[in-house]
Amino acid sequence: PAPVPEIRKGLAGVVVDTTAISKVNPETNSLLYRGYPVQQLAATKRFEEVAYLLWHGELPDAAELAEFRAAERAGRALQPNVKAAIDLLPTTAHPMDVVRTAVSVIGASDPTTDDASREANLAKSTSLFAALPAIVAYDQRRRRGEDLVPPRDDLDYSANFLHMSFGEVPDQVVVDAFDVSMILYAEHSFNASTFTARVITSTLSDLYSAVTGAIGALKGPLHGGANEAVMRIFDEIGDAGNVVPWLDAALAEKRKIMGFGHRVYKNGDSRVPTMKASLDTLVAHYDRPDLAELYDALSGEFVERKGIHPNLDYPSGPAYHLMGYDTETFTPLFVASRVTGWTAHIIEQAASNALIRPLSHYDGVDERHV
């Protein structure tokens, strides 16, 4: 039999292309978006500026930002055909399925025939970026039996997102924590969903198909679905005092502890300290020290036992919970952010395309005849 070539399961450690969008450095525990440390962006910029940076390679000047903000505000309303499509879906549908379907409807309704140019893809990216908050917010509201809240164009992206979700603008500390989460989730090199988007783009398919596929990849609990899964674990454990017996049982059953571990970062996720600081402001604001105790107890115990560190989904899950989001809405919030990174990669892939088509080693039955 032919020798088995070296196979890297899950493409672990395989470099498949170059990118100028972000740099993940596990040794120095850093993440750069277009050269800027993500922590600095989270501390000094708003999510709109970071979205612009990811697409254009530079932060916007005042005039560019004003123009971009105007375009985002103009695209915020939930379009009637998208609302009608959402309303056809049962309220028991997972919100990730609803968001995936809504993006598909937007794509099918876009009359543009240009699937490849940078200009056309930038325009589509901006309109998806603008449209997603209404989709995510409305789906949560309809599941709660609440009405659609129209956008307010006097508010920034994050304040408007929260307004459309809850019918009111929360205190600035909440808006700021939400905006930080959007910035931290925006981009992370060749993660599974971004790679999915690049594979789809590589066949010369369209941007909406690539984003729809990426949403499907993000849904899984080994990837974006982990922020939802973290909250379910918190609900199971209940309070800090139950962590040790709960973890004993979970590890005995060889369960994966959601929100911990990462394919690239083995000594901790560079985004966690920034998101944890935002979570701390929310814990103080909502006066929920019990949640912080549970957070610390589980991470302390798990890191001590296994040496596996939290990833971004660990602090972001409880942060979204404190803001008032339903647990199943957490991963759609990740979509609203990551659509910026996905579309930046789609544009980059289209600009220097090669069909992505790897090989496999056959290990089935030998040739035989009917």
Which residues are annotated as catalytic? 262, 313
Q: Residue 22 contacts by C-beta under 8 Å, 6 or more apart in sequence?
A: 31, 32, 33, 34, 54, 187, 188, 189, 341
Task: Supply the minimum distance, in Å, between the C-beta of residue 130 and ligand SDX.
Answer: 22
Tokens matching residue 33: 């978006």
Q: Which residues of this chain interact with ligand SDX, rule CB under 6 A?
A: 10, 188, 191, 221-224, 226, 256-264, 308, 311-313
- Tokens 């499907």 sit at which residue? 216
Task: Supply the minimum distance, in Å, between the C-beta of residue 84 and ligand SDX.
Answer: 32
Task: Supply the minimum distance, in Å, between the C-beta of residue 12 and ligand SDX.
Answer: 6
CB nearer to ligand SDX: pick between 308 and 356: 308
107 C-beta neighbours (distance < 10 Å), count? 18
89 C-beta neighbours (distance < 10 Å), count? 16
- Tokens 């300290």 sit at which residue? 273
Q: Which residues of 336-358 are buried (b: 16+ CB within 10 A; e: fewer)?
A: bbbbbbbbbbbbbbbeeeeeeee
Tokens matching residue 170: 């929360």
Task: Supply the minimum distance, in Å, between the C-beta of residue 220 and ligand SDX.
Answer: 9
Task: Supply the minimum distance, in Å, between the C-beta of residue 191 and ligand SDX.
Answer: 3
CB nearer to ligand SDX: pick between 157 and 190: 190
Compute the distance between CA of residue 55 and CA of residue 125 in angstroms, rounded to an integer.
9
